[in-house]
């Protein structure tokens, strides 16, 4: 945090207002939390109203793309076809799929089926079949602003066990979201997610999580789900991050040894589910930016 702004200097946020009439009290509250030993956000993690508006525009595309996938996805479709739908819909609306060429990732979306935990690569060889559960993880860049969310889809007749995993994982995200409020802590969200998964006999993946997002694809903080209430980063208005727990029917252990270098699977090959939302911390709670 930059410390020496005068009371009458322009605020660091770019509002044009004097510091004392803008973020001064806000910074003092953050400083107090820091003195109490908490991890606090840097100014660069706090989005301005203008930036938030641009990120919302990006998210409109991301949501529309997932809606389009939701309309079309069915048994017999290859995950390559999902990739095509994502690429076409995103680019027609003026966006760029954020995963395409990201650190060498070759496709416009991640499609993770059954025991695939995340980062499944779309392929014409992977045909969705009755009973599959699949995560479609979509991310968009519009004018340099990022949005990121994912949904689960149940293909045809899915077993009650798999259906329950998908439903409980969605509930985990909802319960986590309800904990997101200014001057609370990221760990409040984490514990709500973890407890609901554990209560249902599931495990939560430990070393892959969510992330700050908006001005870049992946920003601080890292968002894990094994943390306790009252720990992890202080939440303040203007912060934006994803809640995207991967919930496993069996053990939390995962492996990344697919020759494609990306796909993560459960070690026990039991199914895994994930839903992802992008959340803004507001003055009085939270706003879901992408889902
Ligand atoms: N949408 C994924 C996330 O939540 C993207 C992972 S990067 C990829 O961060 F290259 F694997 F797609
Ligand atoms: Co993400």
Which tens digits make up the pLDDT trace of 146-201? Answer: 999 999 999 999 999 999 999 999 999 999 999 999 999 999 999 999 999 999 99
Which tens digits make up the pLDDT trace of 188-207? Answer: 999 999 999 999 999 999 99
Residue 125: DSSP 8-state: T
For the segment 67-92, the average pLDDT, to the nearest whole number, is: 98
State the closest ligand 1 atom to the C-alpha of 150, by its place in the atom list counted from 1: 1
84 contacts: CB under 8 Å, gap ≥ 6: none
pLDDT at 245 over 70: yes
Length of the chain, in residues: 291
The band of 4, judged by pLDDT with boundaries at 50, 70 and 90, is: confident
Name the residue of 65, 66, 101, 119 whose CB sits within 8 Å of the most ligand 1 atoms, as the mutation to test its pocket: 119
pLDDT at 260 over 70: yes
pLDDT at res. 44:
97
pLDDT at 246 over 80: yes
List pocket residues of ligand 1, CB cut-off 6 Å: 99, 102-103, 105, 110, 119, 137, 139, 148, 244, 262, 276
Rounded distance, CA 6 to CA 19, Å?
Answer: 7
Ramachandran angles phi, psi of 206, nearest 5°: -95, -40
If you average pLDDT over every residue of the chain, what do you get? 97
Sign of the torsion formed by the C-alpha atoms of 123, 127, 133 and 139? positive
Distances, alpha carbon 194 to alpha carbons 124, 129, 169, 234, 241, in Å: 35, 30, 10, 19, 18
Which tens digits make up the pLDDT trace of 7-66? Answer: 999 999 999 999 999 999 999 999 999 999 999 999 999 999 999 999 999 999 999 999
Rounded distance, CA 5 to CA 136, Å?
Answer: 45
Largest alpha-carbon pair distance within the chain? Answer: 65
pLDDT at res. 163:
98
Ramachandran angles phi, psi of 19, nearest 5°: -55, -45
């Amino acid at each position: 945090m930059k410390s020496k702004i005068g009371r009458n200097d322009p605020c660091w946020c770019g509002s044009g207002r004097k510091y004392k009439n803008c973020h001064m009290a806000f910074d003092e509250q953050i400083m107090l939390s820091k003195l109490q030993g908490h991890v606090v956000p840097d100014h660069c993690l706090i989005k301005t109203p203008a930036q938030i508006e641009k990120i919302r525009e990006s998210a409109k595309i991301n949501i529309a793309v997932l809606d389009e996938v939701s309309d079309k996805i069915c048994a017999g479709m290859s995950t390559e076809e999902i990739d095509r739908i994502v690429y076409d819909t995103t680019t027609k609306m003026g966006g760029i799929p954020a995963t395409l060429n990201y650190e060498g990732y070759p496709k416009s979306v991640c499609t993770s089926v059954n025991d695939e935990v995340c980062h499944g690569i779309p392929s014409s060889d992977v045909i969705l079949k009755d009973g599959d559960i699949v995560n479609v993880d979509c991310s968009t860049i519009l004018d340099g602003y990022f949005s990121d969310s994912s949904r689960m889809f149940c293909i045809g007749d899915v077993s009650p066990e798999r259906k329950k995993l998908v439903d409980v994982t969605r509930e985990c995200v909802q319960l986590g979201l309800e904990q997101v409020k200014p001057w609370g802590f990221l760990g409040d969200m984490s514990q709500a997610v973890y407890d609901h998964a554990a209560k249902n006999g599931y495990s939560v993946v430990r070393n892959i999580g969510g992330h700050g997002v908006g001005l870049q694809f992946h920003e601080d903080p890292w968002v894990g789900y094994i943390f306790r209430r009252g720990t992890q980063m202080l939440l303040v208005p203007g912060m934006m991050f994803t809640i995207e727990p991967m919930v496993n029917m069996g053990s939390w252990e995962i492996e990344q040894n697919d020759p494609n270098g990306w796909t993560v699977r459960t070690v026990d090959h039991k199914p895994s589910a994930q839903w992802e939302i992008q959340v803004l911390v507001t003055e009085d709670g939270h706003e879901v930016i992408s889902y």
